[in-house]
Amino acid sequence: MKDKYTLIFIPPGHSSTRQIQFSKVGKRYLGVGMLLIGVMIIGLFGRSIYLSHYIKDLKPTIDHISQLQTTLEARDQEISNLNQKSTQIKGDLTKITDLEGKLSTMLQLNPTSSRATPSRGLADPSVLTPDQNTQTVADHLSLLQGYYEEAVLQKDRREHTPSFLPAEGEITSSFGYRQNPFGQVSKEFHHGIDIGCGYGTPVLATAAGVVIYVGSDPVYGQRVDLDHGHGIVTFYGHNSRLMVKIGDQVRKRDLIAYSGNSGRSTGAHLHYGTLVNGEQVDPVTFMKTKEAYEGV
């Protein structure tokens, strides 16, 4: 037994002991193993200390890199926002150019000399921030859209408002009291004007509207009535031929009849009358001029 070594494990209490025997060679191996384990532990501990100092030295660089990454992300977002604003501004400028063109045509203004300058109402973009530029263009676009919508309404009202005589000829009898052409000595109220024109003269709609009456009237003969909206109605009497029917939509200057001598008439002419909210009014009040025929 002198070449053997014994390790005895005595547990607490009255439990039986345990023992392990090993030789001198085993003792040597055990010592070498424990030495290697110690070296490994020391190496790992040293490596941990080295890495700790290495990471500590690198921390400012890592923090700087993180800061740069955050800055780059912020710059990327800023560039993305600027691109969006640029796209919005380009789109708004295109809309502004289109609206200005439509307004120029609608209002019969001279076209702009250059399409490269879409509007004269904008501030110098070089002195404004991107947000200010975007807001300025958006505000200008909103203003122009308001002008355009109002111009469309005005154009629609203009198209639906009588503005010229419906046939080419002179006004031979005015609105109001006149000598009765059939009674000579008596007077009568003339609800319109008479336009002296040859038999078969084209009769044009004096404004856009819808045909609400087509037929024969004992006084006005072959008659056409148009409703122009806004409370305005026009009627055309003594025609020889009617070219429309009830429900037709007519535009300004559309052909609606040919003049004649039908109804209570002393000769070929056109009777033209206007009503506003059901009241007879003098058609001449709608004329741009008192010329017999404008044709526009």
Q: Where are the alpha helices (DSSP H) in the chain?
A: 24-106, 130-159
Give, in degrees to the nearest 5, the angle at Cα 279 between 282 and 169. Answer: 25
**What CATH number belongs to 170-286?**
2.70.70.10
What does the alpha-carbon distance between residue 134 and residue 152 come to, in Å, rounded to a whole number?
27
pLDDT in tens, 210-248: 999 999 989 899 999 999 998 999 999 999 999 999 999
Q: What is the pLDDT of residue 243?
A: 96
Residue 117 has pLDDT above 60, yes or no: no
Q: Name the packing angle between helices 130-159 and 24-106 (round to 10°).
A: 30
pLDDT in tens, 1-58: 556 667 676 777 666 777 777 676 777 777 788 888 888 888 888 888 888 887 777 7
Give, in degrees to the nearest 5, the angle at Cα 235 between 281 and 179. Answer: 60
Q: What would you measure as the largest C-alpha separation in the chain, in angstroms?
A: 170
What does the alpha-carbon distance between residue 194 and residue 23 come to, in Å, rounded to a whole number?
145
Provide the pLDDT confidence category of residue 295 given band limits of 50, 70 and 90.
very low
Could you tell me the CA-to-CA distances from 174 to 19, 69, 166, 255, 265 in Å, in that order? 143, 87, 15, 24, 15
Residue 66 has pLDDT above 70, yes or no: yes
- Domain edges within the chain: 89-159, 170-286
H-helix or E-strand containing 279?
Answer: strand 279-281
